[in-house]
A and B are shown apart, each in its own frame.
Chain A
Amino acid sequence: MKSLKIKQLIEKIEGEAELDFTFNEGKIEDVRINFGFYRGIEEILQGKDPRDALVITPRVCGICNHAHLLAAVRAIENGYENAGVKIELTSKAKDIREFTLACELIQNHIKWLYLTLLPQIETYLDCKSEENYAMKATYLSSTITKALAIFAGQWPHSSYAVPGGVTCDPTYLDVMQAQSLVDESVTFFEQVVTGLSLDEYLAIDMCADFHRIGGDFGKLLHLIGSNGMTEIGKSHDRFIVFGESILSKPGKSIVTTVSRVDSTFVHETAQMGTVAKAVTYKNKLYEVGPLARGMVAKTPIVKNLHKRYKDSLLTRVFARIHEIATLLAHTKRLLQNLDLNELSCTLDRKSILNDFEGTGIVEAARGSLIHKSSVKNGLIEQYEIITPTQWNLSHGNKEEQGIAIKAMVGSQNIEEATFIFRTFDVCSVCTTQ
């Protein structure tokens, strides 16, 4: 039987992508993922003041802009350290940064659940409900970004993290408001997303207890489970995390072994036929994102799911939504422990270095985000941004197919394959910065 090629335009993925499917014997054999327009943020930064990256790089992406800000500020701080200027952030500054980043991740994951996953699975399974999922998505995302904005001034596109700390100087009036917004988000998660209290939900560590999960998450799990979708979407089962966060330490996970990583072995290459660049670690492809974090951190429920279903669509979907709960619990703790007497920024604004090279790593919603800044005579000579989607959506190399491609291969229809594609929480704009 001869092979058949079909082109499909995928929308609502923070832009669009074109997938070229190759079918053989009725099954998908290969997929080419093509993204649109190269915007050249790295080139735009050349010749600019290094701190301008704090304003320009968030504009890589409207949904994960805050992660770009933090990667940019860490790249400068790391550069200062490499040049011998010690930067010691106060716990207040560290915790506020961690808080605002967590808020952005929650915003992202909840939009993915309600704007992408639930509507798409209902379309795919032809069981459209009358639910206004978008209203649920925006209720929680706007509540949690409001808590973020109390410290960062606004979301999207804040530039409140500066070398040495943060620009805000919050009062308890701010902290109490933020706490109340987090509480509101927790209530939503409990009553609408899971039908369980946050503590009850977080106590679930075996997939045998999934029947206890209610709400929209329960509905999603039921749809995946009762339609034979638990085993599809498997990829290379190889995971990597470069950033340190509450969700995971850095490391890579292959089979059952977790080992150390060093970001200097990350390699970026141009790909034929698309403006997106591919990334490898020691010439191997790895999946990044919530599932990778769950595997490297050995999160009990993720490990339990993985034992049974490997890196299938179900495990991947679960790991992402599960992060919402972990992050909500963490944001509450962060606010409770803030000491407002500490300094917000420890680096004097007049201590400016003119020559340095630094790397900033952040665990963004979709996985590890890396910024590298190289500064000469007070100006950016070179700026490199490696986004999470570059890992997951690359075409692969000579030896093996890319992560998302491998997950789609073997599927018998395009609708199923594109749903698998969306479980990676695809971001078109980040892939083609």
Chain B
Amino acid sequence: MMVTKPRLLWLQSITCNGNTHSFLNHPDLFSILDHFEIVHHPALEGSYTFNDVIEGIVPCDVLILEGSFTQKGFLKGGVEVSSLIETYANKAQHIISAGTCATFGGIFKQKDPENISGFCFDLEEQTSRYEMYRSKLISLPGCPMHPKWMSYVLLMIANKKKIAIDNLHRPVELYGYTVHTGCTRNEYFEWKIDVKNFGLKEGCLFYENGCQGPYTRGSCNKILWNDTSSKTRVGTPCFGCTEPNYPQESLFRTKTNMGIPAKMPLGVPKRAYLTLTGVTKSFKIKRFTERLMEYDK
């Protein structure tokens, strides 16, 4: 007997295609997609053409949205992309907003902040579409989103399991952590030791170099990028790309008040932070002033 698979449609709005390409990096891509019938995808072959999609005749159970939205002014094949997406959002049982643009508005929102937003959120605020789609909405912010965040959601859907989400519809199993969790520089964070310059494995990037890892939700240092690394592991600060207000200004510089980072690690009161800083800074620990390893010169 033919078992019908849930039909998967991937639609793009104002985007760079970064989430499409991020997902193509998934090592188990085809076994995941095998749970679905791809009706249309921006890069992979599907059972319908894009012209069919525009005509509104394509069946859709799972809708993946990539890119930020404008209600008017972005047409594909003569049709407003917003109305196209609403057509399929109404048909779908599940809507996944892939990436920060589709979820909150992201980088492209900055071109026209009045009119460009995410699909169901505009930064952290609910858009007028929210009430209509809230029951089927999963948010996967990230610039781009991690391929394994997407596969987790798809496999939970394929296995008919309920995904626990937070108030912004992010799966708690993925966004319950901060990016700081699992960072290889954690010891330096604990002992308040800043990195001396870029290009060194020793030192923390939170104090001066703009790292937003301690207050950014995401599992980048738990589920590694390309199965191998992360920004902070290679000495690049976390830019908070999963957050509703991404991108902020001056991304390589930590905003400070009287030398103290202006933004505290998630949920940590300033008083607790200052007390701990006072204690740790009163010790000078030799190991943390040395290189982790030396090569014979």
Could you tell me which A residues sit within 8 Å of B by CB distance?
Answer: 9, 11-12, 14-16, 18, 36-37, 39-41, 43-44, 48-49, 51-52, 54-56, 59-63, 65, 93, 111, 115, 119, 132, 134-135, 137-138, 141-142, 145-146, 148-160, 162, 164-169, 171, 177, 340-341, 343-345, 348-349, 429
Compute how far the CA of A36 lies from the CA of B77 in the bound complex, rounded to whole angstroms: 9
Q: Is B283 an interface residue (CB 8 A)?
A: no
**Contacting residues of chain B (84-115) with chain A, CB-CB under 8 angstroms:** 107-108, 110-112
Given contacts A177-B228, A344-B199, are A61 and B17 in contact (CB under 8 A)? yes
With A59-B16, A167-B198 as given contacts, are A157 and B143 in contact (CB-CB < 8 Å)?
yes
B24 contacts A153, CB within 8 Å? no
Task: Tell me which residues across on chain B come within 8 A of A164, comparing CB atoms.
Answer: 198
Q: Assess the A44–B252 pair: CB atoms within 8 A.
A: no
A315 to chain B: closest CB distance in Å? 26
Cβ-based interface call for B5 (8 A): no
Mask, B1-23, CB within 8 Å of A = 1, is 00000000000101111111110
Which A residues touch B17, using CB under 8 A? 14-15, 61-63, 429
Cβ–Cβ contact A9 & B77, under 8 A:
yes
Known contacts A14-B17, A168-B235, A343-B199; is-contact A49 B230 (Cβ 8 Å): no
A146 with B226, Cβ < 8 A, contacts A55-B251, A59-B107, A349-B209 known: yes
Contact status B30-A168, CB under 8 Å: no
CB distance from B188 to the nearest CB of A (A): 13
| Contact between B250 and A160, CB atoms less than 8 A apart | no
Let me know if B18 and A59 touch, CB within 8 A.
Answer: yes
Instruction: Pick from B14, B75, B249: contact of A49, CB below 8 A.
Output: B249
- How far apart sit A11 and B293, CA to CA, in the bound complex (Å)? 51
Digit string of B55-84 for contact with A (CB within 8 Å is 1, else 0)? 000000000000000000011110000000
**Once bound together, how far apart are the Cα atoms of A44 and B111, in whole Å?**
6
B252 interface neighbour in A12, A51, A341, Cβ under 8 Å = A51
* Given the contacts A165-B198, A169-B201, A154 and B24 also touching, CB distance less than 8 Å: no
Complexed CA–CA distance, A145 and B229 (Å): 11
- CA gap between A141 and B26 in the complex, in Å: 10
**Chain A residue nearest to B22 in the complex (CB):** A156
Cα A41 to Cα B15 in complex, Å, equals 11
Instruction: Tell me the chain B residues, 212-271 only, with Cβ under 8 Å from chain A.
Output: 220, 225-236, 239, 241, 247, 249-253
Judging by beta carbons under 8 Å apart, are B198 and A55 in contact?
no
Cα of A67 to Cα of B200 in the assembled complex, Å: 23
CB distance from A159 to the nearest CB of B (A): 5
Residue in B29, B42, B77, B295 whose beta carbon sits within 8 Å of that of A12 in the complex: B42
